Copies of this chain bind each other. A is one copy, B any other.
Amino acid sequence: MPRIAFLECSRCKTRVSAETPQTLCPACAGSLYVRYDMDTLKRTARRDDIAAKAAASPASLGMWRYADVLPDVAPVTLGEGWTPMIHSRRYPGLYIKEEGANPTGTFKARGLSLAVTMAKHYGLQHLAVPSAGNAAGALAAYAAAAGLSAHIFMPQDVPFANYLEGIVYGADVNMIDGLISDCARIVGEKIKAQKEANTPTSEVWFDISTLKEPFRVEGKKTMGYELVEQLGWTYPDAVFYPTGGGVGLIGMWKAFEEMEALGWVTGKRPRMYALQATGCAPVARAFDEHKPASEFFQNAATFAAGLRVPKPYGDYIILDILEKSGGKAIASPDEVILESILDYARHEGIFLSPEGAAATAAYDQLLKTGELKPTDKVVLFNTGAGLKYTDMTAEAMHLRRPNEKKATLPTSLPVGGIITPQ
A394 within 8 A of B: yes
Tell whether, in the assembled complex, residue A61 and residue B230 are in contact, meaning their CB atoms are under 8 Å apart. yes
Tell whether, in the assembled complex, residue B351 and residue A141 are in contact, meaning their CB atoms are under 8 Å apart. yes
A26 within 8 A of B: no
Tell whether, in the assembled complex, residue B386 and residue A387 are in contact, meaning their CB atoms are under 8 Å apart. no
Count, chain A residues at interface, CB 8 A? 105
Tell whether, in the assembled complex, residue A342 and residue B403 are in contact, meaning their CB atoms are under 8 Å apart. no
A253 within 8 A of B: no
Q: Which residues of B contact A403 (CB under 8 A)?
A: 156, 175, 177
Interface string of A387-407 (1 = CB under 8 A from B): 110111111111101111111
Q: Which of B50, B303, B410 contacts A409 (CB 8 A)?
A: B303
Q: Which of B78, B84, B230, B334 contacts A86 (CB 8 A)?
A: B78
Tell whether, in the assembled complex, residue A349 and residue B161 are in contact, meaning their CB atoms are under 8 Å apart. no
A419 within 8 A of B: yes
Known: A156-B401, A387-B385, A415-B339. A346 touches B55 (CB 8 A): no
Q: Which residues of B contact A409 (CB under 8 A)?
A: 303, 334, 392, 395-396
Tell whether, in the assembled complex, residue A351 and residue B168 are in contact, meaning their CB atoms are under 8 Å apart. yes
A235 within 8 A of B: no
Q: Which residues of B contact A392 (CB under 8 A)?
A: 407, 409
Tell whether, in the assembled complex, residue A51 and residue B58 are in contact, meaning their CB atoms are under 8 Å apart. no
A30 within 8 A of B: no
Task: Report the bound CA distance from A144 to B345 in whole Å.
Answer: 7
Chain A stretch 111-130: residues in CB contact (< 8 A) with chain B: none
Interface string of A159-198 (1 = CB under 8 A from B): 0110111011110000101000000000000000000000
A421 within 8 A of B: yes
Q: Which residues of B contact A145 (CB under 8 A)?
A: 89, 348-350
Task: Report the bound CA distance from A412 to B337 in whole Å.
Answer: 12
A408 within 8 A of B: yes
Chain A stretch 333-371: residues in CB contact (< 8 A) with chain B: 333-335, 337-339, 341-342, 345-351
From A31-39, A96-104, A216-224, A244-252, give the one contacting chain B. Answer: A96-104
A314 within 8 A of B: no
Tell whether, in the assembled complex, residue B177 and residue A413 are in contact, meaning their CB atoms are under 8 Å apart. no
Closest to A419 in B: B397
How many monomers of this chain does the complex have?
2
A62 within 8 A of B: yes
Task: Report the bound CA distance from A345 to B409 in whole Å.
Answer: 20
A77 within 8 A of B: yes
A239 within 8 A of B: no
Task: Report the bound CA distance from A175 to B163 in whole Å.
Answer: 28
A52 within 8 A of B: yes
Task: Report the bound CA distance from A146 to B337 in whole Å.
Answer: 23
Tell whether, in the assembled complex, residue B87 and residue A59 are in contact, meaning their CB atoms are under 8 Å apart. yes
Task: Report the bound CA distance from A54 to B51 in whole Å.
Answer: 8
Tell whether, in the assembled complex, residue B390 and residue A141 are in contact, meaning their CB atoms are under 8 Å apart. no
Tell whether, in the assembled complex, residue A390 and residue B349 are in contact, meaning their CB atoms are under 8 Å apart. no
Top 8 A-B pairs ranked by shortest CB distance?
A79-B84, A145-B349, A334-B410, A51-B55, A301-B408, A170-B346, A157-B407, A58-B85
20 more A-B contacts (CB under 8 A) besides A156-B405, A385-B385? A50-B55, A51-B52, A58-B84, A78-B98, A79-B83, A79-B86, A79-B98, A105-B387, A141-B345, A145-B349, A145-B350, A156-B403, A157-B407, A161-B390, A163-B401, A164-B399, A303-B408, A337-B410, A338-B410, A338-B413
- The contact sample of 18 A-B pairs, CB cut-off 8 A, is A51-B51, A51-B54, A54-B55, A61-B84, A82-B82, A84-B103, A105-B387, A141-B349, A160-B390, A161-B387, A164-B390, A164-B393, A165-B351, A168-B346, A169-B345, A169-B351, A301-B407, A396-B410
